[in-house]
Amino acid sequence: MADLTPNVTPMRTAAENQLLALFPSVKARLPGASAERQQAYDAFAQAGLPHRRVEAWKYTDLRAVLREAAPLADVPSAALLGEVRAKPSPFAGLGPSLVIVDGVFEPSLSDLDALPAGVEALGLAGALGAAQPVANLGEAAVADDAVLALNAAFMTDGVVLRVAAGSKVETPVFVRFVRTGGEPRSTYTRVLVVVGEGASLTLGESREGPAGVAHQDNAVLEIVAGDRATVSHVVLNTEGRGSIDLSTVGVKLGAKCLFNTFALATAPALSRRQIFVHFAGENSKISLNGGALLNGRQHADTTLVVNHAVPHCESRELYKHVLDGESTGVFQGKIIVQPYAQKTDGQMMSQAVLLGDNATMNNKPELEIFADDVVCAHGATCGQLDDDLLFYLRARGLPKPDAEALMLQAFVGQALETIEDESIRGVLESVVEGWLKARM
């Protein structure tokens, strides 16, 4: 019987072949030791691009979507840098920013001098090139994932941000990822944030780029937080329509940490945001939140893996999807409670409103529990706007588009409220309002 069982080895797609061919050709000019890159490359060569048979990628078939792997982005020219300088950051005026243009950290555009006390930043490429290995790199982003492996193989540059122990940083620090050029190019960046014991940091990320260019970005953010550290993190993705945005966040928390993250996606053609949280110390609390406002044929995927490896930790997740046109929203959340991780408290909620007749929402909230003294719950809903509520608003004189916008604003607002920094929240709220206005 065994002899008759066909041994299926899928054919490599064009994109896979391009990626495999790319590595040997660029290997020499990638910074840092090549042994680890080679290892990651081999892991990718083994696995190939994730496809729907890979459970974690069930709803985002990258193998089918990624038809061509774009070549690595060129080092930006002085003229391009000038253009970027002229473009204001969506978070302008809220705090110093570190700028990464086409995958290259640009100190000349960054406000290195304006960094708050206790915060130290340097380029990743430089750090990788130094004799000493970069401390904490690869500590938080650990997963058996082909996209993460690709990043480890190809990462060109990024930022290493360290907050000294005990530094309570009031001013938020921003990292801008700016894309330029009219031809699709790919970038592989990595940002490492190490927050020392008892320190606190608010980190804002913005992704900006030209509309209509199918840029491909593979970004990894690693956050390593010492005991009693507080980290708030916000991502705003307004990168031009057409791009493919793969982002992985790895978080490792010590004891008594607070971690809060929010991501808003409105622009990319395809976005996949995967967050891996590992609790290494007791009594930590996390709150993972996000929203996606999609139309056309956009596809947004949020995949969370929250690993409760120690007792007495708390996790909260709230995600909101608004899906218009033929867009697709994906939410996969997995809460793992390891044996002995008693007194774990985990609550997860994913809600979606489908506006378009051909919109799709796929929810997979998972619980994997090996300890008994826990309180875990998840909820998932999807539906359309409530006719009764709509009628109520229209009966009070609001035109239908306004009534819908109001309801959607309230719907997404619930998640936006989790952003602690008011000024950052204001920026995101205005992006949501802009999206709703454009729809009316």
Partner 1 sequence: MPAVQETVEQVRSIDVDQYKYGFITDIEMDKAPKGLNEDIVRFISAKKGDPAWMTEWRLDAYRRWLTMQEPTWARVEYPKIDFNDLYYYAAPKKKEGPKSLDEIDPAILETYKKLGIPLREQEMLAGVQNTRVAVDAVFDSVSVVTTFKDELKKAGVIFCSISEAIREHPELVRQYLGTVVPVTDNFYATLNSAVFTDGSFVYVPPGVRCPMELSTYFRINEKDTGQFERTLIIADKGSYVSYLEGCTAPQRDENQLHAAVVELIALDDAEIKYSTVQNWYPGDAQGKGGVYNFVTKRGDCRGANSKISWTQVETGSAITWKYPSCILRGDNSRGEFYSIAVSNGYQQVDSGTKMIHLGKNTSSRIISKGISAGRSQNTYRGLVSAHRKATGARNFTNCDSLLIGDQCGAHTVPYIESKNASAIFEHEATTSKISEDQLFYCLQRGLSAEEATALIVNGFVKDVLQQLPMEFAVEAQKLISISLEGSVG
What is the binding site for partner 1 (CB under 8 A)?
1, 4-6, 55, 339-340, 342, 352, 354-384
Asked if residue 216 lies in contact with residue 243, where contact means CB atoms within 8 angstroms, the answer is yes
Residues 6 or more apart whose Cβ sits within 8 Å of residue 21: none
- Return the number of the residue (126 or 356) whose C-beta is nearest partner 1: 356
- Return the number of the residue (366 or 420) whose C-beta is nearest partner 1: 366
Name the 3-class secondary structure at 182: coil
- Return the number of the residue (39 or 358) whose C-beta is nearest partner 1: 358
Count of positions (residues) in the chain:
440
- Return the number of the residue (59 or 188) whose C-beta is nearest partner 1: 59
- Return the number of the residue (92 or 377) whose C-beta is nearest partner 1: 377
- Return the number of the residue (5 or 108) whose C-beta is nearest partner 1: 5
Rounded (5°) CA angle 102-107-113: 145
DSSP code string of 381-402: EEE---HHHHHHHHHTT--HHH
Minimum CB separation from partner 1 for residue 366, in Å?
A: 5
Q: What would the two tokens of residue 309 be?
A: 């490896």
**Which is it for strands 216-225 and 285-294: parallel, antiparallel or unpaired?**
unpaired
Minimum CB separation from partner 1 for residue 390, in Å?
A: 13
User: What values do phi and psi take at 412, rounded to 5?
Assistant: -75, -30
- Return the number of the residue (283 or 360) whose C-beta is nearest partner 1: 360
Asked if residue 162 lies in contact with residue 120, where contact means CB atoms within 8 angstroms, the answer is yes
- Return the number of the residue (376 or 406) whose C-beta is nearest partner 1: 376
Sign of CA dihedral 128, 249, 119, 123: positive
Minimum CB separation from partner 1 for residue 374, in Å?
A: 6
Residue type, 221: L
Minimum CB separation from partner 1 for residue 177, in Å?
A: 32
- Return the number of the residue (370 or 391) whose C-beta is nearest partner 1: 370
Minimum CB separation from partner 1 for residue 321, in Å?
A: 11
Q: What distance, in Å, lies between the first and last C-alpha atoms of the chain?
A: 61
Minimum CB separation from partner 1 for residue 364, in Å?
A: 5
| Surface-to-core class of residue 6, CB atoms within 10 Å of its CB (0-12 exposed, 13-18 middle, 19+ buried) | exposed
Asked if residue 310 lies in contact with residue 283, where contact means CB atoms within 8 angstroms, the answer is no
Minimum CB separation from partner 1 for residue 391, in Å?
A: 16
Minimum CB separation from partner 1 for residue 378, in Å?
A: 5
User: What values do phi and psi take at 281, rounded to 5?
Assistant: -130, 160
H helix and E strand count, the chain? 9, 19
Minimum CB separation from partner 1 for residue 404, in Å?
A: 13
Tell me which residue of 267, 151, 159, 279 sits closest to 224, measured CA to CA. 279
Render the burial of 103-135: b for 16+ CB within 10 Å, e for the rest.
Answer: bbbbeebbeeeebbebbebbbbbebbeeeeebe
